[in-house]
Amino acid sequence: MNAAAPEGGQRRLRAGVIGLGWAGQQHVAAYAADPAVDLVALSAMEEHLLERFGTEHDVPGRYRDWTQMIAEAELDVVSIATPTFLHEPMAIHALGAGVHVLTEKPMAQTGEAAARMVAAAQQAGRVLDVSFNHRQRGDVTALKDVVDSGVLGKLYYAKTGWIRRQGIPGLGTWFTKAESSGGGALMDIGIHMLDMALHLLGEPAVTAASASTHAEFGPLGRGGSGFGVSQVEEGAPFEVEDLATAFLRLDGGGTLLLESSWAQWIPHDLCYVTLYGADGGATIEWGGDPAHPHQEITVWTEVAGMPAELQPVVGEDGHHAAAVASFLQHVASGDAAAHDGSLALRRARVLDACYASAKAGTEVSVAH
């Protein structure tokens, strides 16, 4: 924890983190490295994680009870990196206490829960952000610059997906229980691709969804992120999908195809976003053999009447640190009304429509 004030003498923000799993650890590292922040409190159920990260970053406040942390630590900002079903109550409690909130994705189990979070942020006049760390990738930033330059012309069609070879997280844990997670692959990794695609497309409203879900690996105890066949815990059935696909209608007549899968018979994991425009097309793709991963970005267009393939310059990936930095910039702006979680709420409404469509077997309008 840094002791010196940043240049300009302004008081540093007092930050806390709830949840010390992998994502929470990324938030801890980001706050600890920021000279404008004092990381003053951590909350987790695991004593060994509180001890480890509290000691590593010299954090004075270490709490098993997150409500006690909110009451006592005098926080300005807090990150929530807990199972999805806890995002809503934790965020609403913190916002009500006057604390700006950054939650991990997905925002909440349902659009209605997300809407209650937005309402709490608006009532409190505090920032509510959701950490979509993958939109901080260097290739996403580069492709957004290409789109904004107008090289592709009007975008009318896009495809995006995240497909894993063997990557169901925590078979038998909260990830695979409907009540605690809200959904499976679509909720966990599909949301990242939906966010990236809509961001690149310029945030068109999604008007309707036609979706389908499947669970072919998880119910058999297969497809876990470990090796071989995982044992499903007794009394903890696989209640969510391990594959989801959706056809999304966009305001203005465009369409977006979305697929996400935790486990599939493919050689290696694959992530991609492909855009089709009137004047050009573009794609970003990453994944492959972990020993030799690939990352590609290509733009196809026409220059002086001749077909041309462009290779944009790609900067470094921002990861969670960039998502935390963006959140802190929103807090510093003083314009909480512009950062009240409404964008993430729109994502949650799309997922609601996808799950409703898959259940009904028909196209469903997206609530707004």
Q: What is the pLDDT of residues 3-54, one digit of tens each?
A: 444 455 578 999 999 999 999 999 999 999 999 999 999 999 999 999 999 9
Which runs of consecutive H residues, i.e. helices, occur in the chain?
22-33, 47-56, 66-72, 87-96, 111-124, 138-149, 178-181, 185, 191-201, 319-333, 342-360
Q: Would you say residue 4 lies in a domain?
A: no
Domain that holds residue 152: 137-318+350-365
Same domain, 80 and 213: no
pLDDT digits (tens, 9 = 90+) for 132-191: 999 999 999 999 999 999 999 999 999 999 999 999 988 778 888 888 899 999 999 999
**Alpha-carbon distance values, 318 to 136, 199, 205 (Å):** 5, 16, 26
Same domain, 251 and 326: no
Contact 184, 223 (CB under 8 A): no
Whether the predicted pLDDT of 313 surpasses 90: yes
Q: pTM of this prediction?
A: 0.92
Edge-to-edge strands, sheet with 364-365: 306-310, 294-303, 281-287, 270-277, 155-163, 255-261, 243-250, 206-214, 364-365
Same domain, 174 and 68: no
Q: Would you say residue 343 lies in a domain?
A: no
**Alpha-carbon distance values, 151 to 144, 159, 195, 197, 350 (Å):** 11, 19, 22, 17, 29
Dist CA 55 CA 317 (whole Å): 28
Mean pLDDT of the chain: 93
Same domain, 124 and 162: no
- pLDDT, residue 234, reads 55
Look at the chain and report how many structural domains it folds into.
2
Same domain, 106 and 155: no
Same domain, 164 and 310: yes
Confidence category of residue 224, pLDDT binned at 50, 70, 90: confident
- pLDDT, residue 1, reads 39
- pLDDT, residue 3, reads 41
Q: Would you say residue 47 lies in a domain?
A: yes
Same domain, 150 and 276: yes
Domain with residue 25: its CATH number is 3.40.50.720
Q: Would you say residue 7 lies in a domain?
A: no
Q: Would you say residue 180 lies in a domain?
A: yes
Confidence category of residue 296, pLDDT binned at 50, 70, 90: very high
Mean pLDDT of all residues in 196-224: 95
Whether the predicted pLDDT of 227 surpasses 50: no
Residue 257 backbone dihedrals phi, psi, to 5 degrees: -100, 130
Domain with residue 267: its CATH number is 3.30.360.10
Q: Would you say residue 1 lies in a domain?
A: no
Whether the predicted pLDDT of 230 surpasses 70: no
Sole residue written with tokens 């409703």: 356
Mean pLDDT of all residues in 270-274: 97
pLDDT digits (tens, 9 = 90+) for 70-96: 999 999 999 999 999 999 999 999 999
Same domain, 224 and 359: yes
Confidence category of residue 265, pLDDT binned at 50, 70, 90: very high
Same domain, 313 and 194: yes
Identify the residue with better confidence: 101 or 4: 101
Pairing verdict, β 206-214 and 128-131: unpaired
Q: Would you say residue 8 lies in a domain?
A: no
Whether the predicted pLDDT of 223 surpasses 50: yes
Environment class of residue 66 by beta-carbon count within 10 Å: exposed (0-12), middle (13-18) or buried (19+)?
A: buried
Q: Would you say residue 345 lies in a domain?
A: no
Same domain, 213 and 78: no
Same domain, 358 and 244: yes
Tokens encoding 116 = 């209650």
- pLDDT, residue 236, reads 64
What three-state secondary structure class fits 226? coil
Tokens encoding 201 = 């497309």
Dist CA 321 CA 31 (whole Å): 8
Contact 230, 222 (CB under 8 A): yes
Mean pLDDT of all residues in 113-123: 98
Same domain, 221 and 304: yes
